[in-house]
């Protein structure tokens, strides 16, 4: 393994930028800012560690764990006590990672891998504090395997992600079709219809980029074009998804594919008076004991091959083999396979599967009295990921069985009825609702026996779904359901949902109207209207799965929108002077000055008040969307400042508690209130608030 001249510069600068982003990530996605909400010290909470014996430490000690992790990342970035900093980072990072499977994703796994790799590498040879302390390693060569592992890791992230996108759902454009409506794709919609933007730009472009990015970055001739495309790709991802520092980390790793001396050449362009504070630009380097040299170089340097060099080569080969194997290791860890394979987090199948949940019901049965009751989905937990993973569902059921006896429920049995649509398929059950999950068998190495199969044979129906949805008006909603023979769906239709009907597409079902004690049999092509404000049951009695759809209108929302339209038209007539009739007192707030929040307060009619509130929010949303770059940056900076500020203040409180003990309750309350101080009231998250203002009732 020959040394690369000046190799330290490129690797160290790239790894420094990665570690800076990982240090920032600790306050964000790792959860330092909201650590007290995440772990809820002393509260009855169901947790989902990889190994059941792993438990979080007391709250103040968890803050100390995060401090160690942050100092480790910062130490790696500075090259200060490098090996110790690496050990501090990876030991705490992997502890937190294994502590909660619900937060797993591919980039969190990647951060841990990079931390592990840096522990074994010579990342402190250039522009480092260790280099100042130890001249013998300053500007020393770095072995080629360091670069090989880092470059190969990033290549694997791209390439395996591309291989995973060869999945039929991605190629046919079903995985991320909803993204085509995002404003980022508006320029493409000037050329293509929305359907082609989804198929060609989002799915086709994502597939091609992932498959080719690693190759394009590797070659000199294509690297500039690769930088352009991956920069555009990751900047778009930073706006499309809430994935923390990952897009910026991937941008930082792109520099690994450049020549190792690029930082020296880059900083050599700066004026001479700035070079005092900038990294060294001298081409002079020194040999390293970590490197193997050719016979001529070995004679001049006195460096000979040692067993550690062979271990480095063996590690590189074994590590890369393991990394190519892991994304396809699901035949080993079969207990983690569900409707899709494996725990989401180490497969590099980013965004290949989208899910939408329509119905989640948790039923408990008292083992002694036989009493049956229902639990709110997600009770005793802050996560929603358990709904899709059998291993987490088993942990959740076990936890519930331990907590429910506190509420006079003895030896509880727990049943889950969870419905999900994968990539725009029918809504279907994931797990058998007849199985008591508390007593159900689960092993990480055996298939889940109570897992229902994905109804892939019904996938062609998705084309028909689009035709049916296209034939409906804007006020009519539709839900497509598929169920297994011998099972039934119990459903309640909200009183807001008028004109609700069931249309059978395939199979045979019996519909029971519970209040009326009546049963109706439906064959394919038949339909029945079900009453609002009442329960009904749909039994699948055919030998093959039944397929049917609910069609309904949210009459409450439709009436509200009609009233909003009338009020808007009246408001416009008043403003342009064409309204001749005087307004009654309850409509007087409609002519108030724009953006006058007092008009909402003065409005006595609830419809008028809601209309004015909605108008103000729409103006705020429009203002945010039309804001200039500087205003957006200021808003972003202020939000991040108060978020990071809270994390560090709460950390200081925790460390003080560990050092000198808890203060009086009144003082602690004041300190936490000061840490919780937020930015001045603004139109934050108006898009989401406006979206949620008038929600659809769930069938």
Catalytic residues: 165
Given CA atoms 404, 407, 413, 414 in this order, what sign does their dihedral have? negative
- Give 530's contacts (C-beta < 8 A, 6+ positions apart): 493, 500, 501, 502, 511, 513, 536
Strand partners, 510: 521, 539
Transcribe 337-370 into DSSP letters: -SSSSS-TTSS--TTS--EEEEEEEEEEE-TTT-
Burial letters 299-333, b for 16+ CB under 10 A, else e: eebebeeeeebeebeeebeebbeebeebbeeeeeb
| Whether the Cβ atoms of residue 564 and residue 611 lie closer than 8 Å to each other | yes
Taking residue 658's Cβ as centre, other Cβ atoms within 10 Å add up to 13
| Whether the Cβ atoms of residue 144 and residue 381 lie closer than 8 Å to each other | no
Strand partners, 413: 365
User: What CA–CA distance (Å, rounded) separates 687 from 622?
Assistant: 10
Residues, the chain, total? 699
Given CA atoms 647, 653, 656, 657 in this order, what sign does their dihedral have? negative
Q: Read off the DSSP letter of residue 31.
A: -
Q: How far is CA 488 from the centre of its chain?
A: 33
Given CA atoms 47, 52, 58, 60 in this order, what sign does their dihedral have? negative
User: What CA–CA distance (Å, rounded) separates 161 from 156?
Assistant: 8
Smallest CA-to-CA distance from 544 within 489, 488, 484, 502 is with 484
Given CA atoms 657, 659, 664, 668 in this order, what sign does their dihedral have? negative
User: What CA–CA distance (Å, rounded) separates 100 from 238?
Assistant: 24
Taking residue 395's Cβ as centre, other Cβ atoms within 10 Å add up to 21
3-class secondary structure, 444: coil
User: What CA–CA distance (Å, rounded) separates 145 from 364?
Assistant: 56
Q: Read off the DSSP letter of residue 104.
A: -
Smallest CA-to-CA distance from 123 within 287, 13, 257 is with 13
The torsion region of residue 127 among left (phi > 0), alpha (psi -120 to 50) and beta comes to left
- Give 571's contacts (C-beta < 8 A, 6+ positions apart): 590, 591
Transcribe 536-562 into DSSP letters: EEEEE-SSSPEEEEEEEEEHHHHHHHH
- The sheet carrying 355-365 orders its strands as 372-375, 355-365, 413-422, 428-429
3-class secondary structure, 640: helix
Helix (H) or strand (E) holding 3: strand 3-4
User: What CA–CA distance (Å, rounded) separates 421 from 441?
Assistant: 25
Compute the radius of gyration of the chain from its Cα atoms: 30
| Whether the Cβ atoms of residue 29 and residue 66 lie closer than 8 Å to each other | no
């Amino acid at each position: 393994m020959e040394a690369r001249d000046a190799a330290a510069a490129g690797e160290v600068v790239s790894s420094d930028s990665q570690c800076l982003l990982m240090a920032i990530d600790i306050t964000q996605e790792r959860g330092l800012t909201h650590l007290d909400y995440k772990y809820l010290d002393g509260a009855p909470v169901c947790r989902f560690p990889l190994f059941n014996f792993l438990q979080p430490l007391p709250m103040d000690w968890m803050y100390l764990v995060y401090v160690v992790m942050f100092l480790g990342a910062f130490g790696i970035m500075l090259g200060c006590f490098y090996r110790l900093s690496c050990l501090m980072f990876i030991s705490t990072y992997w502890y937190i990672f294994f502590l909660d499977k619900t937060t797993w994703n591919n980039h969190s796994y990647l951060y841990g891998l990079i931390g592990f790799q840096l522990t074994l590498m010579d990342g402190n040879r250039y522009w480092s504090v260790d280099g100042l302390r130890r001249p013998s390693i300053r500007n020393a060569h770095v072995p080629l395997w360091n670069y090989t592992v880092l470059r190969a890791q990033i290549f694997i992230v791209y390439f395996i992600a591309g291989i995973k996108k060869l999945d039929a759902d991605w190629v046919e454009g079903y995985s991320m079709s909803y993204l085509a409506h995002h404003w980022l794709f508006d320029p493409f919609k000037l050329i293509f219809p929305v359907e082609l933007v989804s198929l060609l730009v989002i799915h086709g472009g994502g597939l091609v980029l992932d498959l080719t990015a690693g190759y394009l970055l590797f070659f000199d001739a294509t690297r500039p074009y690769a930088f352009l495309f991956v920069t555009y790709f990751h900047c778009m991802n930073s706006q499309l998804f809430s994935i923390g520092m990952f897009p910026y980390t991937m941008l930082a790793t792109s520099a690994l594919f450049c020549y190792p001396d690029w930082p020296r050449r880059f900083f050599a362009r700066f004026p001479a008076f700035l070079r005092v504070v900038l990294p060294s630009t001298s081409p002079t380097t020194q040999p390293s004991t970590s490197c193997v040299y050719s016979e001529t170089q070995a004679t001049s340097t006195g460096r000979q091959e040692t067993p550690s060099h062979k271990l480095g080569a063996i590690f590189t080969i074994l590590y890369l083999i393991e990394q190519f194997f892991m994304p396809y290791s699901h035949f080993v860890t079969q207990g983690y396979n569900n409707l899709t394979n494996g725990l989401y987090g180490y497969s590099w199948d980013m965004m290949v599967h989208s899910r939408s949940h329509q119905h989640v019901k948790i039923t408990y049965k008292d083992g002694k009295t036989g009493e049956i009751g229902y639990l709110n989905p997600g009770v005793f937990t802050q996560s929603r990921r358990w709904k899709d993973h059998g291993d987490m569902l088993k942990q959740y059921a076990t936890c519930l069985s331990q907590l429910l006896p506190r509420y006079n429920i003895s030896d509880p049995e727990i049943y889950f009825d969870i419905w999900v649509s994968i990539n725009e398929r029918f809504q279907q059950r994931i797990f058998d609702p007849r199985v008591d999950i508390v007593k159900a068998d689960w092993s990480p190495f055996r298939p889940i026996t109570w897992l229902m199969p994905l109804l892939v044979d019904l996938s062609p129906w998705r084309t028909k779904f689009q035709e049916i949805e296209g034939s409906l008006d804007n006020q009519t909603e539709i839900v497509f359901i598929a169920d297994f023979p011998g099972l039934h769906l119990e459903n309640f239709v909200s009183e807001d949902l008028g004109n609700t009907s069931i249309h059978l597409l395939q199979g045979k079902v019996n519909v029971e109207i519970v209040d009326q004690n009546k049963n109706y049999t439906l064959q394919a092509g038949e339909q029945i209207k079900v009453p609002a404000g009442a329960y009904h049951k749909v039994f699948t009695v055919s030998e093959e799965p039944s397929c049917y759809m609910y069609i309904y209108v949210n009459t409450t929302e439709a009436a509200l929108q009609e009233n909003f339209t009338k009020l808007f038209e009246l408001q416009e007539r008043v403003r342009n002077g064409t309204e001749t009739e005087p307004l009654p007192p309850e409509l007087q707030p409609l002519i108030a000055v724009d953006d006058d929040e007092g008009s909402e307060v003065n409005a006595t009619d609830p419809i008028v008040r809601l209309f004015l509130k909605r108008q103000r929010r729409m103006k705020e949303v429009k203002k945010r969307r039309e804001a200039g770059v500087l205003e957006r940056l200021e808003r972003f900076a202020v939000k991040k400042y108060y978020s990071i500020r809270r994390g560090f203040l709460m950390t200081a409180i925790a460390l003080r508690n560990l050092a000198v003990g808890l203060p009086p309750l009144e003082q602690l309350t004041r300190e936490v209130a000061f840490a919780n101080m937020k930015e001045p009231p603004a139109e934050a998250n108006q898009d989401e608030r406006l979206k949620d203002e008038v929600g659809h009732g769930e069938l």
